[in-house]
Amino acid sequence: PTAPAGPTPHMGSSAVVSSSSDAAHYEMKGNTIIVVFGASGDLAKKKTFPALFRLFRQGFLPNDVKIVGYARTKMDKAEFHSRATSYIKKSDDDAGLAESIDKFKDTLTYVDGDYDTGAAFDVLNAHLLEIEAHYTSEDKNRLFYFALPPNVFVTVAKNIKEHVYASPGVNRIIVEKPFGKDLDSARELLSSLKQYWSEEETYRIDHYLGKEMVKNILVLRFANVAFASCWDKSHISNVQITFKEPFGTEGRGGYFDSFGIIRDVLQNHLLQVLSILTMERPVSFSAEDIRDEKVKVLRCIPPIAQEDTLLGQYVGADGKPGYLDDDTVPRGSVCPTFAATTLWINNPRWEGVPFILKAGKGIMNGRYFCPKSKYGIQFKDVTQGIFQDIARNELVIRIQPSEAVYLKMNAKTPGLQTHAMVTEMDLTYNRRFAEAKIPEAYEALILDALQGDHSNFVRHDELDVAWKIFTPILHWIDGKNGTPPHPSSYPYGLRGPQDLDKFIQKYGYHRT
Ligand code: NDP
Ligand code: BG6
């Protein structure tokens, strides 16, 4: 297979890296400290520490790694340990788990301090130096994870650079979205961060890029002639990329209301999926080759038109509160909690094919009470004649829950008569690869950052072009050019606004 080899657990120590291009691809194997800023917060507790634990347990973290939490909240060691391990999935039949958690705790220390004074960062640095005093070689690696709200990104980036930057050593930052609110603010944020951190030191997370079935797209597309040969406007009628969450903003309304579903999910997670689905084959699997192709295809997408947009907001139903019932949401807000937008790609491969991006909160998802996301490629009608009303093929890739690839196809009904029926060629991962451990997105991405692999992180120019596509529609929704549009109401738990089916059919989608 030509796909890059999978990572192996670390065993040894590393060498000193001096030149910046070496540093870009340098793998942090030993002498490494991971500092988690905002360690008292939601993301750190639910995603960052559990991902670090899983990597630690499987032997993928650098040898003798130390993890330092930093935030303003005062906590003693026991409280920090308890928070950092509270979201580790525990099961009775997991032999050795308790012992692994204890070992993980031995790597964890906590420093409290503010985000805006240099003196607080000097205290943090003194703590890191104390850890590093035990190193037997000169190299030092520091990976700084920003589990922080964006209003403190730049201050923290500056203070780390001025007070906590290891020199000599390899330093990297991992930054979480949101990266701005529109094109101008994103450019401002990027250039402020760039004063202190180079592109090669910066890892911008879009955690969808760490999901197994998003990482799978390149292999599915380019390692299968059967798919590669029909991946264009001559064969594909429309593509839908969908995200549904069966819960509302619940307490996160303050953050959500100033962003809305388009900035929260479409402009980043779903657009990333779209770019990998539609890019040309990269020259290699290197980060720059992949991201060059993504940027090229994104540049062919014009800004989204108002008429290609459907907005919704959930209202209370069946005892569940509506968006406006959330105390953290401003009264009368017209912030969309659901959006469907159709994008067009003006290049020879995709001209005329609608790409429908849909995302919503407060949308029930069959029997699952968890987010569901998938992408579906619907092929064109088969030539009629011997068949009438025969269903279209549709290739569906379910990102979550229960990763799967299935092809809706026609087959002869078994038996003596010749009738066609719709059936599925089904590759459901937990059945086919029952023993495989599918990593969580954050696990895969933190490992990539330690290994100096930028392929699954967002490059500055990707971000710029993504904002160009979405900024006009966002300004319209924000009411920057007049009265903001009023989203259609949909009851909590339904599929979205009533007009959704009409909207999708407008672009040629047929239910199969
Ligand atoms: P939190 O609101 O929990 O903030 C993290 C920590 O930052 C808090 O514990 C607090 O620590 C500090 N903090 C909070 N508000 C402020 C403020 N106004 N000024 C200074 N410090 C503050 O955020 P999350 O953990 O939910 O998210 C962190 C980042 O990750 C954000 O950029 C978010 O958009 C992103 N993200 C979050 C996801 C999630 O599931 N939660 C998913 C994807 C991205 P203290 O007061 O102790 O310093
Ligand atoms: C985050 C959004 O980026 O992604 C959240 O801010 C959303 O609103 C989350 O819930 C969904 O992630 P996942 O991995 O559960 O699909």
Beta strands at 32-37 and 420-428: parallel, antiparallel or unpaired = unpaired
Kindly state the tokens that stand for 144.
Answer: 């700084």
Per-residue pLDDT of 406-439, as tens digits, reads 999 999 999 998 889 999 999 999 999 998 889 9
Beta-strand runs (E) in 29-107: 32-37, 66-71
Is residue 290 within 6 Å of ligand 1 at its C-beta?
Answer: no
Nearest residue CA, atom 6 of ligand 2? 264
Average pLDDT over residues 299-322: 96
Q: Is the pLDDT of residue 337 over 80?
A: yes
Q: Is the pLDDT of residue 250 over 90?
A: no
| 139 Cβ neighbours under 8 A, 6+ residues apart | 13, 14, 15, 16, 17, 30, 31, 168, 169, 170
- CB of 377 closer than 8 Å to CB of 232: no
**What pLDDT shows up at residue 19?**
38
Type of residue numbered 191: S
Kindly state the tokens that stand for 93.
Answer: 């039949």
**What pLDDT shows up at residue 22?**
60
Q: Which residue has the higher pLDDT, 290 or 24?
A: 290
Nearest residue CA, atom 5 of ligand 2? 264
Q: How far is it, in rounded angstroms, from Cα 387 to Cα 377?
A: 22
Ligand 2 center from residue 39 Cα (angstroms): 19
Structure confidence at residue 4 as a pLDDT band (50, 70, 90): very low
Kindly state the tokens that stand for 373.
Answer: 């996301």
If one residue of 80, 114, 116, 148 were mutated to test the ligand 1 pocket, choosing by the most ligand atoms within 8 A of its CB, it would be: 148
Per-residue pLDDT of 63-82, as tens digits, reads 999 999 999 999 999 999 99
Structure confidence at residue 91 as a pLDDT band (50, 70, 90): confident
Torsion of CA 20, 24, 25, 26, to 10 degrees: 70
In sequence order, which ranges of 163-222 are alpha helices (DSSP H)? 183-194, 212-222
Nearest residue CA, atom 11 of ligand 2? 371
Phi, psi values for residue 189, rounded to 5°: -65, -45
| Mean of pLDDT over the chain | 92
Query: How open is the CA angle 60-177-276, to the nearest 5 degrees?
Result: 75
Q: pTM for this one?
A: 0.94
**What pLDDT shows up at residue 6?**
47
Average pLDDT over residues 41-61: 96
Average pLDDT over residues 367-375: 77
Percent of the chain, pLDDT > 90? 84
Structure confidence at residue 369 as a pLDDT band (50, 70, 90): low
245 closest CA partner among 129, 370, 147, 131: 370
Angle, helices 77-85 vs 49-57, to 10°: value is 80
**What pLDDT shows up at residue 2?**
42
Per-residue pLDDT of 149-186, as tens digits, reads 999 999 999 999 999 999 999 999 999 998 999 999 99
Structure confidence at residue 367 as a pLDDT band (50, 70, 90): low
**What pLDDT shows up at residue 253?**
77
Ligand 2 center from residue 83 Cα (angstroms): 21
Query: How open is the CA angle 327-328-334, to the nearest 5 degrees?
Result: 95
CB atoms within 10 A of CB 11: 9
Ligand 2 center from residue 317 Cα (angstroms): 23
Phi, psi values for residue 161, rounded to 5°: -60, -40
| 17 Cβ neighbours under 8 A, 6+ residues apart | 23, 26, 139, 170
Is residue 252 within 6 Å of ligand 1 at its C-beta?
Answer: no
Q: Is 332 left (phi over 0), alpha (psi -120 to 50) or beta?
A: left
If one residue of 35, 36, 43, 193 were mutated to test the ligand 1 pocket, choosing by the most ligand atoms within 8 A of its CB, it would be: 43
If one residue of 35, 37, 40, 42 were mutated to test the ligand 1 pocket, choosing by the most ligand atoms within 8 A of its CB, it would be: 42
354 closest CA partner among 509, 166, 141: 509
Average pLDDT over residues 322-338: 95
Helix (H) or strand (E) holding 255: helix 253-257
Average pLDDT over residues 194-219: 97
**What pLDDT shows up at residue 368?**
60
Q: Which ligand is nearest to the CA of 400?
A: 2
Nearest residue CA, atom 41 of ligand 1? 43
Ligand 1, closest atom to CA 207? 43
Average pLDDT over residues 214-224: 96
Q: Is the pLDDT of residue 9 over 80?
A: no
Nearest residue CA, atom 40 of ligand 1? 43
Active site residues: 269
Q: Which residue has the higher pLDDT, 368 or 467?
A: 467
Q: Is the pLDDT of residue 92 over 90?
A: no
Beta-strand runs (E) in 362-464: 372-379, 394-400, 404-412, 420-428
